[in-house]
Chain A
Amino acid sequence: MTGTIIKTVDLRKTYMQGKIPVEALRGVNLEVGEGEFLSVLGPSGSGKSTLLNLIGALDKPTGGRLFIENIDVSALNENQLADLRMRIGFVFQFFNLIPRFTARENVELPMSIAGLSKGERRKRAEELLQMVGLASRMNHKPTELSGGEQQRVAIARALANNPRFLLMDEPTGNIDSKNAYEIIRLVKRLNEDKGVTIIMVTHDQRLAEEAKRIVYMLDGTIVMEKVR
């Protein structure tokens, strides 16, 4: 472990469900180093997705501190949060591709938001799709792709802007087991060969075991850690 990229200190998140406050995170302390492959394992409702959304700057904590590369995220304004999100790769359970765009256009989108020229975008998108093994499916729309393929497009998209780390929320939750295995192999390769830092949330014990380090969550706190 070289340096710490993510550090949470007593991180808390309470949201209102109607009039009832729900404590999703009750003080999480976690450090993630550069190049790590970390799994967050826990049953649904344990707060693991909430933690991922906070780290991904998609949501704001209600207590504690969150540092990403030593920057206090809670002090950032909307624009700065958007800039931060641009440098974080997000992979969702339901892929969240734009249906009207082809695979390549979907991968180009974050680069378009970042302001890259059309030529640069295209080149990099093609490289990335090649890397995830979709060189022949670039001009297909998500509806023409299988779940596994869609998720690989999503991973290519997440990598588009050279993110500091990848956040994966149940990345295989919506994919059959054979394809899920392919995805995990891809993720592991990214981590081992390219040194991409990965945090993966899952409730699948077997999947979590693939990571180098596993964090167990229950009722909004980390209850156990395991390093392989």
Chain B
Amino acid sequence: MRIIDMFSYAFSAIRLRKLRAGLTTLGVVIGIAAIVALLSITQGLQVAISSQLQRGFATDTLIVTAGGGLGGVNEFNLLVKDAQTIKEIGNVTASIAVIQRICYIRMPYGQTRRVTVTGVDFAAYKEIYSSTFVAEEGEIPLNPEDDFIIVGKQVSDPWSNGTILCRTGDALEILWTNTTTRPLRNETYLGRVVAVLREIGGFTIGGPSDNRIYIPISKAQSFFGTETCEMIIVKLRNDDRATIDSAAKAIREALGGRVAVTSSTAVLNIISSVFSTIELFLAGIAAISLLVAGIGIMNIMIVSVMERTREIGILKALGMKNRQVLLIFLCEAAIIGLLGTLIGIGAGWSLAQIVLRIFGSSGGAGIMRQGNQAAVSNGITITPVLTPTVILGAIVFGLMVTMVFALYPAWKASKLKPVEALRYE
């Protein structure tokens, strides 16, 4: 029997019971749609986040923080002058200390805001983050005076609607509570805004952020009364794995092994591996619904084989081989599986579009904005991503599940004895 004739025979059998076939197909549609929707949403999220990360991250930088190895308590302090030590290590082209404190700033019109004040060497910081530490308004001074301030876009325009709270030339009062003295002492000074950064968007570790303000490192040292810094950002000659590894090792050794060296690349890798895990987990849940659909197919087909026992007997009396009977039933499952899978891919894709249109642009990022004020700035727009791999995978998986579950009923049909099948009422 020709394959085309098998398919047309199977199709005629399906057409006979449209409602039943439709409901069976619906099971497959739902399973596949769930998988495709979840995968295209998570992949869209991943693409959005990693592109944001890549903007905020420089892959050839290392972040050095106090605290080497395991354990919480660490007496070690990273000093501003350690940046100089690191700078002398091979392959290091720049090394700058970063001091950061949570402070309140008083805006020209009286509003106060809680922000992270970051003390850095403007010139060196600009050299490392040349694409993000860029002024939209004013200019980034290379030899800043002590009271110069650079503000992030979101500090200037917090609601992204043109309501500007401070701009170049304004005076900002910075308030900081020194908690190391008894009684606590409030420190304050008046600074001048010399530049507003261009909007950056996205996450960063160490790099410029929209909701911070920047002051010269020397001012930070004197105002906060400290020689220690929170981190040292190190720029390397290139982002080769070997360069990163050897420089990280040298830095750890130079500082007595009591520092943690994080590479941006490593962080990116961790984030993407976390996403892969989430993706796998979600797809796994969706796959369960497809398995349920598969059991539905098996159930329906067992009933169908029983109902059509006599028909199978006729086919066998006409000379059909067991293998051909098996194939005809598998063809039926394949038609249902393929149809369900194709509809399911379309439905899943539409579902992802709808879900992201409703929650995508503000919701997703908004949660993270609250969760980590320092790391995130503006909202991220997520668009679902449907890769050819996902499409192909869905087709293969959808077909495989239907065929596997159809195998038993089809085998049962093929093993029927002609005489008994013909006698069946």
A residues near B (Cβ < 8 Å) are 53, 56, 58-59, 78-79, 82-87, 90, 92, 96, 98, 100-101, 109-110, 112-115, 117-118, 157, 161
Contacts and interface: CB of A to CB of B under 8 A. Distances in A.
29 contacts: A53-B419, A58-B418, A58-B422, A59-B417, A59-B418, A79-B321, A79-B322, A82-B320, A82-B321, A82-B322, A85-B316, A85-B319, A85-B418, A87-B319, A92-B422, A96-B313, A96-B314, A96-B422, A98-B311, A109-B318, A110-B318, A110-B319, A112-B1, A112-B5, A113-B1, A113-B315, A113-B318, A113-B320, A115-B2
Interface in B313-342: 313-324
B12 interface: yes
B358 interface: no
Query: What are the 6 closest A-B residue pairs judged by CB atoms, nearest first?
Result: A86-B319, A82-B321, A58-B418, A59-B419, A110-B318, A85-B319
Contacts of B9: 112
Interface of B: 1-2, 5, 9, 12-13, 15-16, 310-311, 313-324, 417-419, 422
A116 to B, nearest CB: 9
Contacts of A56: 317
Q: Is the interface of B mostly helix, strand, loop or mixed?
A: helix
A85 B422 CA distance: 14
A95 to B, nearest CB: 10
A86 B317 CA distance: 8
B12 A100 contact: yes
Contact of A78 (B311, B317, B322): B322
A58 B318 contact: no
A152 to B, nearest CB: 17
A82 B316 contact: yes
Name the residue in B13, B16, B318 with the highest tally of chain A Cβ atoms < 10 Å from its Cβ: B318
Nearest to B313: A96
A61 B286 CA distance: 52
B86 to A, nearest CB: 79
A79 B316 CA distance: 11
B316 A96 contact: no
A131 B332 CA distance: 34
A124 to B, nearest CB: 15
A78 B324 CA distance: 12
